[in-house]
Amino acid sequence: MKQEKWRVSEVRTPNYQSSEMHVWNCNHQSHTISVISRRFISYRSISHNSLCLDNLLPLPEDIASISLPFDQNDTPSIHRWDAIIRDISASSQPEKSLIVYAMMRRKGVTPSMHTFPSLLKSVSKSQNHNPYQLWPHIVKFGLNSDPFVKNSLISALFSSGRMELARQVFDENEQADVVSWTALINGYLKTGSLVEGLTCFKEMRLRGVKVDGMTVVSVLSAAGKMGNIWFGRSIHGFFMETGRVKWDVFVGSALVDMYSKSGCCDDARKYFDEMPRKNVVSWSALIAGYVQCNRFMQALVVFQDMLMENVRPSEFTFTSVLTACAEMGALVQGMWVHGYMDRCKLEMNSIVGSALINMYTKCGCLNEAFMVFKKLSGKDLFIWNTMINGLAMHGDAIGSFNLFWEMLGSGIHPNEVTFLNVLSACSHGGLVDEGRKLFAMMKHRYCMTPSVDHYSCMVDLLGRAGHLEEARKLIKDMPIEPTAGVWGALFGACVIHKAYDLGECIGKHLIKLQPNHSGRYALLANLYSRCQKWDSAAQIRKLMKEKGVKKTPGCSWIEVNGAIHEFIAFDGSHSEFHSLNQVMDSFIVQLTLADYATDCSLFAFDVDTD
């Protein structure tokens, strides 16, 4: 249905009946409501007609369901009404605050500057209401020039997804102060419009508005999310040079967070150490930064320092620490963290619960992971996805597949990640028919567009099962450009099923796609070696050296008696290096005596060795 366009010039001198009719016909259209309200609100006969304003704000009909903490004959003060509206707006049914507002108006109580921010917050959470519908009420009671109310309206419009209208309201404020600018910047940042938020910050500075700490915190957060270290450093330099912003725990934490998310962990640590006072946010930001940079050992060391300083961890801290334990396979450390969480009586939400399940599955403790999963109440999609992925990771394709159907039976709808996890399980378990059905279900029943990762899973599934032509056709029919991951899945299948000619073509194509990826050269060289094309294998090794492509050494961890040991390939710096080599040699001897034959045909050997 085409939305009707209104122009102010088309609206003639109003009367009550015509305004009421236009309001009902607008059907929540924000543009129409704004035109009508601005045009009509200036007329005393209309702006003081409460019935017309009530029509501008459609209210629920279940007024009787609201129980108030006073008798109906009482006339409580506006402060008491504001407190009730504020409490309801923060409850699980915020829309009922509108009913309380209607009851308040029936008693003839005039709203205050604290009434509308709570109402706007409630309306922004509802899909049935537009925050701008409260604007006529705000104007009627003379609160349209109040910065607190207007900034609340801007934030509510952003929260409800009406960014253009929020910017329009902001632009009408000719004397926008730092609070208004910060509300505008935060609105863009919270909706994911990071570039627009940073652009507003530049515009704010050009207009000569003085920046405060809250603005700097918001902009540093945006720079961190974007990974824009250049912009983040410029903001840092700005407030250090001007001295306008106080170096407090909030600005310091935002600075640590920005450098951490931008991959500059050493800088993050430097400014963390310079902070005069630290709180749980700054500690958590540094730990999360180390985890993001794959410096898991340092993350755990910082966590231990945090506990020594008697700082109580938050759910975000535990999530990062559990992720570090999962990536290192540090089961003892992870179990200690789990026990510490229980001692702290931490309420297990979906984020922490998923991190705990992920830690146990990656450490090989599937039963413990399933116990955590079963104990969690109100499982959301995030929890289901983590458990399905854990089963798939352990090769339990049937279990993963069955849990997927159990999730659907519980009323939880899958998302793209769910299908990626189940398709991965089908690939590792050889469930070809089930994988085909899931791929079709994703597209047709749930109307999802498969990503390149979904296609990679399907190619891997078909390729492992020997359906190379079907996999090749799937790649050919892809609506998006196949990535190296997709071609790599088919290349692996060619090696398994000895389709060397097809594998050679794909291998050469992979090197063109990723000329600096050492693994692509190694795989193609090993394919040539398997089919005894020694000259071609040597040529690939030579090409790799000529282009200066170097292999990234592999790295692994092992936990022994609570201590974590790190090993890097071809690195003899470990204190027990010679003893470990002797143990490995003894293992090889024992395997040989036991007539154990290793199939090395699928291993990628060191192609640099002549």
pLDDT band for 417, please (50, 70, 90 cuts). very high
**φ, ψ for residue 228, nearest 5 deg:** -90, 85
pLDDT the model gives residue 599? 55
**Mean pLDDT, range 192-203, rounded to an integer:** 81
Tokens of 188: 């863009």
With a threshold of 0.85, does the pTM exceed it?
no
Tokens of 465: 């099962």
DSSP classification of residue 13: S
**φ, ψ for residue 405, nearest 5 deg:** -70, -30
Query: Could you tell me which residue, 189 or 56, shows the higher pLDDT?
Result: 189
Q: Which of 139, 160, 175 is the last residue of a domain?
A: 175
| DSSP element (H, E) containing 111 | none
Tokens of 218: 């918001």
pLDDT higher than threshold 50 for residue 49: no
pLDDT higher than threshold 50 for residue 63: no
Determine the structural domain holding residue 563 and report its residue range.
555-602
The share of the chain scoring above pLDDT 70, in percent, equals: 78
Residue 181 lies in a domain: no
CA distance 438 to 392: 15
Residue 374 lies in a domain: no
**Mean pLDDT, range 317-342, rounded to an integer:** 94
**Mean pLDDT, range 301-325, rounded to an integer:** 95
Residue 533 lies in a domain: no
- Long-range interactions of 285-290: CB distance < 8 A, separation 24+: 285/253, 285/256, 285/257, 285/260, 286/256, 286/260, 287/317, 287/320, 287/321, 287/324, 288/257, 288/260, 288/261, 288/316, 288/320, 289/256, 289/257, 289/259, 289/260, 289/261, 289/265, 290/260, 290/265, 290/324
pLDDT the model gives residue 39? 39
CA distance 574 to 260: 29
**φ, ψ for residue 564, nearest 5 deg:** -100, 125
pLDDT higher than threshold 60 for residue 12: no
Number of domains in the chain: 2
pLDDT higher than threshold 50 for residue 8: no
pLDDT band for 505, please (50, 70, 90 cuts). confident
Phi-psi region at 59: left, alpha or beta (left = phi > 0; alpha = psi -120 to 50): beta
Q: Which residues contact 476 (CB under 8 A, 6 or more apart)?
A: none
Residue 244 lies in a domain: no
Pair 257, 269: CB distance under 8 Å: no
Residue 79 lies in a domain: yes
Of 49-58, 552-561, 587-596, where does the model show the most confidence?
Answer: 587-596
**Mean pLDDT, range 390-415, rounded to an integer:** 93
Query: Could you tell me which residue, 566 or 421, shows the higher pLDDT?
Result: 421
CA distance 392 to 412: 19
pLDDT band for 380, please (50, 70, 90 cuts). very high
Task: Report pLDDT digits (tens) over 455-486.
Answer: 999 999 999 999 999 999 999 999 999 998 89
**Secondary structure of residue 8 in the 3-state scheme:** helix
pLDDT the model gives residue 50? 43
| Residue 34 Cα distances to 28, 59, 140, 144, angstroms | 10, 18, 14, 14
pLDDT higher than threshold 50 for residue 97: yes
pLDDT the model gives residue 301? 94
pLDDT higher than threshold 70 for residue 210: yes
CA distance 238 to 259: 16
Kindly report which listed range (122-126, 254-258, 359-363, 499-503) carries the lowest average pLDDT score. 122-126
Tokens of 580: 């470990």
pLDDT higher than threshold 90 for residue 317: yes
Q: Which of 175, 203, 223 is the last residue of a domain?
A: 175
Residue 269 lies in a domain: no
pLDDT the model gives residue 52? 44
Residue 581 lies in a domain: yes
Look at residues 346, 355, 354, 282 and name the one whose alpha carbon lies nearest to residue 324: 355
Kindly report which listed range (84-93, 189-198, 208-217, 235-244) carries the lowest average pLDDT score. 235-244
Query: Could you tell me which residue, 600 or 555, shows the higher pLDDT?
Result: 555
Strand partners, 560: 563
Kindly report which listed range (5-9, 148-152, 319-323, 426-430) carries the lowest average pLDDT score. 5-9
DSSP conformation letters of 234-297: HHHHHHHHH--S---HHHHHHHHHHHHHTT-HHHHHHHHHH-SS--HHHHHHHHHHHHHTT-HH
pLDDT band for 159, please (50, 70, 90 cuts). confident
**Mean pLDDT, range 321-348, rounded to an integer:** 92
Q: Which of 148, 175, 202 is the last residue of a domain?
A: 175
Residue 569 lies in a domain: yes
Q: Where are the alpha helices (DSSP H) in 41-127?
A: 44-47, 50-56, 78-89, 96-106, 115-124
pLDDT higher than threshold 70 for residue 234: yes
CA distance 591 to 93: 66
